[in-house]
Amino acid sequence: EHIRVGWEMLLTTIARTINEIETQILTRDAKGITQQQMNEFRSSFSHFDRKKNGAMEPDDLRACLISMGFDLGEAEFARIMNLVDPNNTGLVSFQSFISFMTRETADTDTADQVVASFRILAGDKPYILVEELRRELPSEQAEYCIASMPPYRGPEAIPGALDYASFSTALYGESDL
């Protein structure tokens, strides 16, 4: 009888582990993160899950995030806790941790990507015209760009030409525009 109970517990543990791995694979694929990122997140979570119960307490999460290079003031940590523990249970599940880390590490547009997008809208010209912005962008975005872009002063400049490259680098903090 003792061996049978042990065998059933082993089967249950294996089934639970397989289910957890399948869930991680689905999560990884759905969130667009690499297997290496998933492994790093799992390793960090497991290391700081002091009670080894599959959930981190707030102090564990803080230590984990600091070890990963996050600069955490009280307000920022409170914001993060609201995201990962919206019901104030005092516990952060691996799933919540992965969702947060995915949002935080997601690739964001760079100035070069935005410049490339404007270049397409401008028909490969080094400047863009007001009418092109109004035709290609939603009204609110177009008007923001028109108000914010400096005049283009480079070669081939024509009246009304706007400098999307300077605008884009200033937008991403890469210039002093």
Q: What percent of the chain has pLDDT over 90?
A: 44
| CA atoms within a 13 Å half-sphere pointing along the CA-CB vector of 64 | 26
**Better pLDDT: 29 or 118:** 118
d(CA 36, CA 43): 10
Write the pLDDT tens digit of every residue in 39-62.
Answer: 888 899 999 999 999 899 999 999
> Which segment of 19-33, 88-102, 115-129 scores lowest on mean pLDDT?
19-33
Identify the three-state secondary structure at position 55.
Answer: strand
The pTM for the full model equals 0.49
Identify the three-state secondary structure at position 157.
Answer: coil
- DSSP-derived secondary structure letter, 124: T
Write the pLDDT tens digit of every residue in 6-42.
Answer: 999 999 989 888 877 776 666 555 556 777 888 888 8
